[in-house]
Amino acid sequence: MNEFDAALAARESGESRWEVAIPDGWDFFGIPNGGLLMAMAASTLGPASGHPDPVTVTAHYAKPASAGPAVLEGEVLRSGRRLSTVRGRLSQNGRPILHLLGTFGDLDAREHGAVYEPGLPALPPIEQCLDDDALPATPAIFDRVGIRFHPEHVGFATGEKTGRAELGGWMRFRDGRAPDPLALLLMADAHPPAILNAPDVSFGWVPTIELTVHVHKKSAPGWIGGWFEVTHVSGGYLEEDGVLWDSAGDLVAVSRQIAMVPR
C-alpha cells in the first residue's frame, strides 16, 4: 500500500463512526496539511453515502491538528440516484478539528468535453520547472508530494519575489501513486501559500479557516499542474484561488480557501 492510501485508512468503530490516524510527515513545519485531513474524511464519508467520488467538498478547520489518533463521525444528509450529500466531523482528544460538508457522485458517469474553457495558466513544461529540493527549506509534505515550481515563482524562498501573489507548479506523489479525485483534494492545498510572493510579506504560516474544492473530472495519469493566486487581502484575511489540470491538459479541479493573515 502506498503512503497516501495508508493515510486514508479508517476502521469502523460504531454506527457512522470510524477511527483514523493522522500520519506524521504530511505537514507544513509541524501542522498536518489541511488538504490531507479533507481527503481522509472524504475517503470514508463518500463511500458511506453510496457514491465514490467527491464533487464538491468544504472543510472548516476548528483548531490545528497533530499527528496521532483521531475519530471521524458522519451523517448522510441526502442520498440520491446521482448525488449524495454528507457531513462529518474529525476530532482529536474529544475536540473537533475539522467540520466537513460534501456532495459525492460518480465522475465516470458525468465526464464529457469542455463546454466553455477560456484557457489554463501558462505554466512552463515540467523540465523547465525547478524541483522543490532547490529551496533552502522544505516542509515534510514535500517528501510525499513532489513539486516542480514555476522558475519565476520561487522568490518567496530566495528573496527575489515576483511582486505578485501567485504560485504555480507541477505535482505528483513521489512513490508513483496515480492522481485520483481524493488526491486532488490534497493537491489543492499542497503548495506553499501564494501570498508569500507578494511584496512586504514576511510571515510563513497562513492558517486556513475554510477550504472548498470542486472536482470536475478524473485526471489522466502523470503530473498535476497547479496555479494558485491571492487577489484579496483585507481585514486580516485572504482568499486564495486555485486551478488544477492533468497531464492531458484538462481542467480537473478548482479550489478556494480563506485564511488568516498573521498579525
Supply the CATH number for residue 93's domain.
2.40.160.210
Range of the structural domain that residue 36 is part of: 3-109+122-260
* b/e 200-218 (16+ beta carbons within 10 angstroms → b): ebeeeebebeebbbbbbbb
Residue in the block written with cell 458525468: 110
Q: Take residue 170 and report the three cell numbers written for it.
A: 507541477
In-domain check, residue 196: yes
In-domain check, residue 116: no
Q: Take residue 131 and report the three cell numbers written for it.
A: 524541483
pLDDT of residue 178: 97
In-domain check, residue 213: yes
In-domain check, residue 115: no
Q: Which of 136, 137, 169 is nearest to 153 (CA)?
A: 169
In-domain check, residue 191: yes
**Mean pLDDT per 10-residue section of the chain, whose length is 263 residues:** 95 96 94 97 96 97 97 96 96 97 92 70 95 85 96 82 89 97 98 88 81 96 97 92 96 96 77
Neighbours of 109 (CB within 10 A): 9
pLDDT of residue 115: 60
In-domain check, residue 256: yes
What contacts 52, CB < 8 A, 6 or more positions away?
A: 46, 104, 106
- Which residues are 254's β-sheet partners? 214, 243
Instruction: Please tell me the total number of residues recorded for the chain in this structure.
Output: 263
pLDDT of residue 106: 94
In-domain check, residue 192: yes
pLDDT of residue 116: 64
In-domain check, residue 207: yes
Domains in the chain, number? 1
> How far is residue 33's CA from residue 31's CA, in Å, rounded to a whole number?
6
Residue in the block written with cell 489541511: 34
